[in-house]
Amino acid sequence: MSNATPSRMPITRKQATKLIRKLPVNRSVGNSVVRRGGSIGRIVKTLLTEPTVPNGVKVLAKESKVGANYDTDWARSYPARAARVLLVEGLVRPVIDILATPTVYGDDRLTDIEGPVVFAANHHSHIDTPLMLSVIPEPWRHHLFIGAAADYFFGNQITSTLSALVIGAIPIERTKVTRNSADQAAVLLDDGWSMLIFPEGGRSPDGWGQQFRGGAAYLSLRCNVPVVPVHLEGTGKVLRKGKNVPRLHPTSVTFGKPIMPNEGEDSRHLAIRIEEAVAALADESATDWWQARRRAAAGETPSLHGPEAGSWRRSWSLDDRKRTRKGKRNWPEV
Partner 1 sequence: MPRPGFVLDVDRSTPPILFHHGEGFRLERLPAGRSRVIYPSEPIEALKNPDAAIRDALVNPIGDSEPLTALLKPGMKLTIAFDDISLPLPPMKRPDIRQRVIEAVLDLAAAAGVDDVMLIAALALHRRMTEAELRHAVGDRVYDAFAPDGRLINHDAEDPDNLLYIGSTEQGEEVEINKRAADSDLIIYVNINLVSMDGGWKSTATGLASYRSLRHHHNVRTMQHSKSFMDQHKSELHSANWRMGKVLRDSGIKVFQIETTMNNNVFGTEGPMSVLQKREWEWSLKDRVTMAGMKTALDLMPSRTKRSIFQGWQAPHAMTSVQAGEVEAVHKLTTENVYKQHLVQVEGQTDILTMGLPYISPYNVNSILNPILVACLGLGYFFNLYRGKPPVREGGVVIMSHPTPWEFHPVHHPSYIDFFEQVLSVTTDPLRIEAEFEKSFAEDEWYRHLYRTSYAYHGVHPFYMWYWCSHALQHVGEVIIVGGDVRAVRRLGFKPASTLQDALEMASDVVGRDATITHLHNPPILMADVS
Interacting residues toward partner 1 by CB under 8 A = 105-106, 108-109, 111-112, 284, 288-291, 293-294, 296-298, 325-329, 331-334
Minimum CB separation from partner 1 for residue 302, in Å? 16
Minimum CB separation from partner 1 for residue 220, in Å? 18
CA-nearest of 287, 267, 146, 292 to 212 is 267
CB-CB contact of 228 with 194 (8 Å): no
- When the beta carbons of 184 and 287 are compared against partner 1, the nearer one is 287
CB-CB contact of 163 with 154 (8 Å): yes
- When the beta carbons of 137 and 202 are compared against partner 1, the nearer one is 137
Q: Identity (one letter) of the amino acid at 147?
A: G
Minimum CB separation from partner 1 for residue 227, in Å? 16
DSSP 3-state of 281: helix
Dihedral of CA 205/209/213/218: which sign?
positive
Within its chain, how far is the Cα of 235 from the centroid? 14
- When the beta carbons of 73 and 288 are compared against partner 1, the nearer one is 288
- When the beta carbons of 106 and 168 are compared against partner 1, the nearer one is 106
Minimum CB separation from partner 1 for residue 124, in Å? 23
Minimum CB separation from partner 1 for residue 252, in Å? 12
- When the beta carbons of 208 and 255 are compared against partner 1, the nearer one is 255
Minimum CB separation from partner 1 for residue 162, in Å? 37
Q: How many CB atoms lie within 10 A of CB 312?
A: 8
Beta strands in the chain (DSSP E): 102-105, 118-121, 144-149, 169-172, 194-197, 227-233, 251-255
- When the beta carbons of 312 and 331 are compared against partner 1, the nearer one is 331
Interacting residues of 87 by C-beta distance below 8 A, sequence separation 6+: 165, 166
DSSP 3-state of 304: coil
